[in-house]
Structure 1
Amino acid sequence: MKIEFPNAKPLSSEDLIHLEKLKSLVEEALEDGQLSIYESDRIQSLTWADGKVAYEELRVVNETIHQVMGDIPPELEWRRLD
């Protein structure tokens, strides 16, 4: 099923560079099959860099995780709150 976004603006060259950087960051974070708190924070910081999270950023993160990990979700590191 193809989903269309008629109101979507074309991505600028800066947007494409940002998305490629995000993809590389996610790939690097998942090299060991785990997602540490530090790696998760870095990914979130990059996606929130402009004060909002775009659909394209979420798509890139989800697609990259699926490409790297397949159907196996990455192991997540949790913070212990005391």
Structure 2
Amino acid sequence: MDIYRPESAPSTPEMMAELKRLQTLIESAIADGYLSADEMARIKQQIAADGQVTFQELELYRQLVLDKITQGELARDFQP
């Protein structure tokens, strides 16, 4: 699996649509303040769905999941 840096991959309409799908999935998963292992598996599956992991996808995940876990705003039932 490749990781693409923002300077090497311009944002295309397809990439923007994929980011929006990921954002919607994450927001739905964390809406109750709790992230289950199944929800996390679906998020990882969405990130890897096209065979590449972009900087933008990782940044979105960091902002919406990891930062909230660190700040105590989101609980989880698994270890990262």
Task: Give the TM-score, by structure 1 length.
Answer: 0.74
Q: How many equivalent pairs are there? A: 73
Aligned structure 1 segments of 4 or more residues deviating by more than 4 angstroms:
none
Flag structure 1 segments of 5+ consecutive residues without an equivalent: none
For the pair 1:61 / 2:61, whether they are aligned, the reply is yes
Distance 1:6 1:55, change over 3 A: closer
Structure 1 residues 23-48: Cα deviation after superposition (integer angstroms, max 9, x where no partner): 11111101111110110011000001
Flag structure 2 segments of 5+ consecutive residues without an equivalent: none
Q: Percent identity?
A: 29
Residue 18 of structure 2: aligned partner? 18
Structure 1 residues 38-77: Cα deviation after superposition (integer angstroms, max 9, x where no partner): 10011000001122311110111122234xx482252111
Greater RCO, CA 8 A, separation 6+:
2
Aligned partners of 2:74 and 2:52: how far apart in 1?
A: 25
| Bigger strand share | 2
| Bigger helix share | 2
Task: Give the TM-score, by structure 2 length.
Answer: 0.75
Question: Could you tell me which amino acid in structure 2 is paired with residue 20 of structure 1?
Answer: K
